[in-house]
Amino acid sequence: MFKHVSEIMYFVSDRRAAAEWYSNLFGIEITFLENPEHFFIRVGNQEVWFHQADSKVPSGTAGHVAYWQVDDFDAVLERVTQLGAKLYRGPLDRQDGSYMCQVKDPYGNLIGFIGSRSRAEKGNE
């Protein structure tokens, strides 16, 4: 019945600015459709869309969190915080050799990361 998640939707106050921030984070171009108000980024097979926040679905941390598998947890955490995100939860040791955390993007939404840390970081915990 279910195949895969086809889209992740972030509800934000400024769709263009959020799309540009995530485009910069992932190092990819924004995909524009015929209607200039409809655009997204594609990360691998995953589409990330940006919708105007409203009274039904505001921006914020009280919803779902998409967790991205990353190759270098520490490098991604450093990059995302340099771009203005704030560490929200973690890093947490998953006890399987990987770590996870959540960061709050500049628009108030959460994005999660899961991946391995460097040996130097593991030894300092």
Task: Tell me, yes or no, whether 87 and 30 share the same domain.
Answer: no
Q: Do residues 43 and 73 both lie within one domain?
A: no
In tens, the pLDDT along 18-57 reads 999 999 999 999 998 877 778 899 998 889 999 999 999 8
Question: Are 35 and 71 members of one domain?
Answer: no
- Pair (86, 123) in one structural domain: yes
Instruction: Check whether residue 74 and residue 117 sit in a common domain.
Output: yes
Q: Quick one: 79 and 104 in the same domain? A: yes
Number of domains in the chain: 2
Stated as kind and residue range, the H or E segment containing 113 is: strand 110-115
State which residues form the domain around 112: 62-125
Cα-flanking dihedrals φ and ψ of residue 62, to 5°? Answer: -95, 25
Please say whether the beta carbons of 61 and 103 come within 8 A. Answer: no
Shared-domain flag, residues 71 and 48? no
**pTM of this prediction?**
0.83
Residue 106: is the preceding peptide bond cis (ω within 30°)? no
Chain segment 84-111, per-residue pLDDT in tens: 999 999 999 999 989 999 999 999 999 9
**In a shared domain, residues 11 and 68:** no
